[in-house]
Amino acid sequence: MAKVGENIVVLRAKNGTMSNRTFTMIKPDAMVKGHAGAILDRIIKEGYKVVALKQTRLSAEKAGEFYAIHAARPFYGELVSFMSSGPIIAAILEKADAVAEFRKLIGATDPAKADAGTIRKLFASSLGENAIHGSDSDENAKIEGDFFFSGLERI
């Protein structure tokens, strides 16, 4: 049977491996409407450190790969076509409990259901065109950051 002290060590080890990074993309709808500056300003004011940042444009193939988890969903084709329709800004961000905190900051997937003051409430147009992406787990934050950035592109 494990002693109390041993359990504390195990918990500490788990916390120690928790990432404080998330990955985001400013999506083509927000880019085309000129909201990128305001969104980045908000993210920085909320205390996120920018670890990596770039503007790029996804091919349909790369957008499909990024959202492969949704391949069986009815909206997948629309999502891929939208995400490859124009430039995006991709970034790795750092803050305590980054994944969960950033999901709070961006708000619900559907901007109509997003809380007042969230990025999606302020800048998103619709469920399909919702201004910004935020990773949904530490594991996916790492996979998604690695999808866009080499080691040299991070501080």
> Where on the chain is the footprint of Mg ion (CB under 5 A)?
136
Q: 7 vs 137, which CB is nearer to ligand RTP?
A: 137
Residue 35 near ligand RTP by CB under 6 A: no
Residue 84 near ligand RTP by CB under 6 A: no
Measure CA 95 to chain center.
Answer: 13
Q: What is the largest CA-CA distance in the chain?
A: 60
Residue least distant from ligand RTP (Cβ): 109
Give least dist CB 19 to ligand RTP, A: 17
Question: Would you state the structure tokens that stand for residue 22, as one six-digit string?
Answer: 């998330």
Q: Which of 109, 122, 125, 142 binds ligand RTP (CB under 6 A)?
A: 109
Give least dist CB 131 to ligand RTP, A: 9
Between CA 51 and CA 152 the distance in angstroms is 11
Q: Is 133 tagged catalytic? A: yes
Give least dist CB 71 to ligand RTP, A: 12
User: For ligand RTP, which stretch binds (CB under 6 A), given 33-41, 57-65, 89-97, 132-140?
Assistant: 132-140
User: Interface with ligand RTP by CB under 6 A: which residues?
Assistant: 70, 75, 79, 109, 127-128, 130, 133-134, 136
Q: Catalytic amino acids?
A: 133
